[in-house]
Amino acid sequence: DGGITQSPKYLFRKEGQNVTLSCEQNLNHDAMYWYRQDPGQGLRLIYYSQIVNDFQKGDIAEGYSVSREKKESFPLTVTSAQKNPTAFYLCASSSKIGRRTDTQYFGPGTRLTVL
């Protein structure tokens, strides 16, 4: 089955720790994205990547880092510099048609809680 997987589903972190959220897709999509969702809020873009070895900051990149070493994978690291990391994190991917990016499809999400 083609799709986007995120792991773990739930993650608990102590203050001061870095944690890495996994996102893998087997849809052969070029572009991948990370969004953060807080209660009662829409999704906000953290980082996105349109090709391997390249990524761009979104609106709320501070305290986060990413890598894109493989087309299928776009892990997100939440660093200790992120002041309020408790949130629901959603990964998405989309194909590219020329310079235009197609519809974004989402993974099941990771719920991060800082203890």
Q: How many alpha carbons fall within 13 Å on the CB side of residue 93?
A: 24
DSSP string, 31-53: EEEEEEE-TT--EEEEEEEEETT
Judged by CB under 8 A, the chain residues 44 through 83 that form the site for other proteins are 44-45, 48, 50, 56, 58-59
Q: Using the Cα atoms of residue 59, residue 105, residue 19 and residue 73 in order, give the sign of their dihedral.
A: negative
Pick the closer one to other proteins by CB: 71 or 111. Answer: 111
Stretch that binds other proteins, among 14-22, 68-76, 78-86, 93-101 (CB under 8 A): 93-101
User: At 85, phi and psi to the nearest 5?
Assistant: -80, -10
Provide the β-strand partners of residue 111. Answer: 10, 88
Name which position in 15, 42, 53, 54 contacts other proteins (CB under 8 A).
Answer: 42
**What's the closest the beta carbon of residue 16 comes to other proteins, in angstroms?**
27
Pick the closer one to other proteins by CB: 43 or 52. Answer: 43
Q: Which residues bind other proteins (CB under 8 A)?
A: 31, 33, 35, 40-45, 48, 50, 56, 58-59, 88, 90, 92, 94, 99-101, 103-109, 111
